[in-house]
Amino acid sequence: MTQQAQTIQGSIVAIVTPMFEDGSVDWKGLEKLVEWHIAQGTNSIVAVGTTGEASTLSMKEHTQVIKEIIRVANKRIPIIAGTGANSTREAIELTKEAKELGADAALLVTPYYNKPTQEGLYQHYKAIAEAVDLPQILYNVPGRTGVDMANETVIRLADIPQIVGIKDATGDVPRGQALLEGLAGKAMTVYSGDDATAYQLILSGAKGNISVTANVAPKEMSDVCAAALAGEAEKAENLNTQVANLHEILFCESNPIPVKWALHEMELIETGIRLPLTPLAEQYRTPLREALTTAVVSLAGCSSLAVNNGSLDYKETASLEPLKYPEGSMVRPATPLYPAPTVEALALEHAPVLENKRGNRFAMPRPQAAQVMSNAESTETVDTAVSRPQLIIDGNKNPLLKIEGNSATIWQYTLATLSSLNHQIVGQSKNGYEATIKIDQQVYVLRLTAVGSSNNLAVFNADNSFAAPEKATELLTQIYQNWPA
């Protein structure tokens, strides 16, 4: 088993396959989604599963999507390839292809439509495991396939070395708990495949959740799984409550119809979906939009939902009001995603004017000089003054920007400067001052590190090595020259 396969746990998104209106695959949209998920804390990705519309992709497209996701992820997180089929020979062929492409594991749904017996299921999976030396995860979703793999069959299959896990999408927690008990002492991992009950199964011993909801709420689902894996039952339940409406509304019609509509509403993908699936019916759109809002999904900046309280219009908007929730909604007791800022006139004067896909324009204010709270949630006022950046060269001849002042304020200025330069920010770390940016189709990581009372801003490649000095100097000089402080 690969090192990556051994680390498959937590929130595992069953990612959609972005498409244009004509049904062709949107490759750039797919790349953007993968980068977004990594930045938001998704722990692993399932490529071309049910949610990825495997049933309507050609064999060539199927493998191309897997290949592209593996390329973009670049070993940062494990990639699981959906390779199930109701033909054992076809499943073997797809699984071999996934191995050659570099997938860390394969996800194999039970054969649908032809309704094999329990012995047939055993022989099907045994044949694939013997034919392909790749970690394999079984997938039992009787609600879609019409085939239910019994716990006893799963326990038998656990003795086959290449079969390392199962996605249990029955939504039956007592049954899942019985399966976990039956697998005690065996080298098989259980994953939930039902968002609504996932945290309960993880608290019982499962290692993660292969999720539909994570498509639109990756950070929220990552937090739910992390709390459950840590055994923090109350915290996991509370976090799950905040996205519970999403779990339900995302299945108001056949998956992935609702989740693709939601992602388009968030301006993360185009409208495409392939027949026989059709766009989400009108009567479900408002409830889904409200579910996204009440879950406090990160819509601001990529969707008009979070601006002007759902007016769907950025026009003439010079400031962002606190997000208002539908009456009677249950929401987390936290500051709204984008609280209304207090901005000095000089800052507004230098703020960039941005335009979204619909051609609507709005001004983005610079960071305000205000109280900055420490990670310990100190109530003391912190000096937010920052110095002008100074370009220096370290002992290894790597260019850095040295900046004196409060790290949080410096980072706010850095992000504002990147926006003014029109550099594409494709992701931000939730654990530190780090942003993934794309310049001329090349991905870089910009990282701010505190060094005593000073801070160093450095540019890295995606593999964590220092960027080429020429490119790093060019970017850091642009930041220095456009620094707002």
In the chain the first and final C-alpha atoms are separated, in Å, by 51
Q: What is the pLDDT of residue 210?
A: 97
User: What single string gives the DSSP state of each residue in 23-55?
Assistant: S-B-HHHHHHHHHHHHHHT--EEEESSTTTTGG
Q: What is the pLDDT of residue 4?
A: 57
Task: Give the mean pLDDT of 296-303.
Answer: 43
pLDDT digit string (tens) for 399-410?
A: 888 888 888 888
Q: Domain boundaries in the chain?
A: 10-236, 390-482
Contact present, 430 and 220 (Cβ < 8 Å): no
User: What single string gives the DSSP state of each residue in 429-474?
Assistant: -SSSSEEEEEETTEEEEEEEEEETTEEEEEEEETTSSBPPHHHHHH
Q: Is the pLDDT of residue 44 over 80?
A: yes
Fold of 390-482: Alpha-D-Glucose-1,6-Bisphosphate; Chain A, domain 4 (3.30.530)
3-state secondary structure at position 265: helix
Q: Is the pLDDT of residue 303 over 60?
A: no
Q: Which two tokens stand for residue 337?
A: 């995603």
- What b/e string do you get for 13-39 counting C-beta neighbours within 10 Å, with b at 16 or more? bbbbbbbeeeeebbeebbbbbbbbbbb
pLDDT digit string (tens) for 146-172?
A: 999 999 999 999 999 999 999 999 999
Residue type, 328: G
* Range with the poorest average pLDDT among 50-54, 92-96, 339-343, 420-424: 339-343
- What b/e string do you get for 172-193 counting C-beta neighbours within 10 Å, with b at 16 or more? ebeebbebbeebeeeebbbbbb
Q: What is the pLDDT of residue 347?
A: 47
Average pLDDT, the chain: 82
Q: What is the pLDDT of residue 5?
A: 55
Instruction: Report the alpha-carbon distance of residue 435 to residue 159 in Å, rounded.
Output: 44
Q: What is the pLDDT of residue 385?
A: 72
Active site residues: 139, 167
* CATH of 10-236 given 3.40.50.1820, 3.40.190.10, 3.20.20.70, 2.40.50.140: 3.20.20.70
Task: Give the mean pLDDT of 354-373.
Answer: 39
Give the pLDDT band (50/70/90) at residue 417.
confident
Give the pLDDT band (50/70/90) at residue 6.
low
Give the pLDDT band (50/70/90) at residue 365.
very low
Q: Pairing mode, if any, of strands 136-140 and 44-47?
A: unpaired
Contact present, 45 and 4 (Cβ < 8 Å): no
Question: H or E stretch including 403?
Answer: strand 399-404
Q: Is the pLDDT of residue 381 over 60?
A: no
Task: Give the mean pLDDT of 207-213.
Answer: 97
* CA distance to 35, 74, 172, 391, per residue, from 461 (Å): 14, 12, 44, 19
Give the pLDDT band (50/70/90) at residue 138.
very high
> For the whole model, what pTM was predicted?
0.64
Q: Nearest 10 degrees: CA dihedral of 244, 249, 255, 259? A: -90
DSSP code, position 197? G
